[in-house]
Structure 1
Amino acid sequence: MEFNSYLYLGLAILSILLLIYVYFKTRNTRSLLLFITMVGLGYLIEAVIYNFGHSYQYYPKLIKYDSFYDSNMGAIASNALALPAVATFIAAFRKNWIWILSFISLFAGIEWAFLKLNIYSHNWWKIGFTSFGLLFYFPIAKLFLQLLSNPLKGKLHSLFLFLSIGPLSGSLHIIPIMFFTSRYYELDWFNHRSEDTTAFSAIYYICVCVFYVWIAKLHWKYTWLKYLLTFLLMLLVTVVLKKTGILHSLVWWDPWYYLLLPVGLLKITIILSNRLTIGPPKKA
């Protein structure tokens, strides 16, 4: 394992430990739900500025055969662990602006250090952009926690349900591709196949999450019909993508994984939907 890898893994481990600390200090599942929601928000932002905008590049040296997939691992360490974990800490303990500005300074310092160590680079991005974005990201976490303290209905319910299922859907879609080269998407959007695959995977997971939210909230007498419809729709999508030359499966289990995964994710979406509708348990 290389020096780069240790730094990124260290950042990831510290983030996980912080999240564990928050949960055991608060003993509140809302903290975990907030964390997932903030990851979902981060994924949407990254889809724009990183997947399509190619704002920056990470070099964790965890995936040796493809530099862009390797960069994705760095993005996961930062945007799926470090930033949402700190946002959850700030919201759960109701930290004030002094804490928020301190953490923004810390992340600016980490970004600067990673740049100097050549384990991270900017294309058109600036450290100031990160700091400016965190001025909104961290306070939004505090707002989200307040909203999650009550039962959600209507558009707010749909929004939080989408943000909650997004990280699971997005991660479980792209990770097998990166580690097992199970498939790729060919669209000629960018110079490299892995860039096309990452960008299209973002569109794929966003669209399928909209479907999960829609079907989970339908009041059907027979719930099993929802799972059947999900399977058949994903089968249709798979056939269309293959016929148009966009999807290329490279291992035998690839189609089955991406047909059965949505069925499992729909089950999780329904559970999350009920959790958001009921709200947190009342204290005795």
Structure 2
Amino acid sequence: MKLHVINTGFFKLDGGAMFGVVPKVLWSKTNPADEKNLCTWAMRCLLIEDGNRLILIDNGIGSKQDAKFFSHYYLHGEDSLQSSLKKAGFQASDITDNFLTHLHFDHCGGGVAYRGDDMNRFEMVFPNARYWSNEDHWEWAIVPNGREKASFLKENIIPIQESGQLNFVDLNNPSLTENFSFFTADGHTDKQMIPMIKYKGKTIVFAADLLPSVGHIPLPYVMGYDTRPLITLEEKKKFLEEAADNEYIIFFEHDSENECCTVRHTERGVRLDQTFALNEI
């Protein structure tokens, strides 16, 4: 098995929204904001070579939305989905599986593209891949609640089903391969899937939006975007204690500086232990 970091670029979000009730004087120590109170976040995916399967977890924001939409998020950086795949020695047609942790636009927008200049026709970025969601989250996304409607964009989601490439995992048997399992979390959005990868005798957890960054490790640091923040609090506590007990390697999708970390038990609860790049494992 081989793992590759797939960087798809950076975007900016309001720091207050990313840290909820925590005061700026505290969260800005790890995530300093610019003059507009915006913090920089990564859209970092993970590519897994496992036997004859090439599995990509999430795919970034894509490029389908108009200039007004993107003006809210300040996309920047030299990396893109296609350039990062090429750097790893692959192209989009090589992907056999695209595992979508959830269907918010910054996690799944890169999987569907416009066909040429026709904004009414779509094509799949990974033509030979199965796109994996789960039935509960899919139903949650295609009939969105008012709070998440702006994050579930039909042009990112419906074409997956229309292409015939949509597949649902079995939540009663939460695994994709022998080395790839997952668990679900409901605080951020309903039935978000958090992958766990067995690699070199370690367990790597793709944290997605359960734990966006190192700065979110303290329990009260919960995003204002989360639909059920008290459930997030419980899910984080359980996960971080398990991560400390079992020496999990946490892989960050959104931390702009840190790819991975470990955590440890302290008198103040679970806290950051070490940060490092994936290729240092």
By the TM > 0.5 criterion, same fold?
A: no
TM-score range, shorter chain: under 0.3
Larger Rg: 1
Q: Which has the higher strand share?
A: 2
Q: Which has the higher contact order (CA 8 A, sep 6+)?
A: 1
TM-score by length of structure 1 reads: 0.27
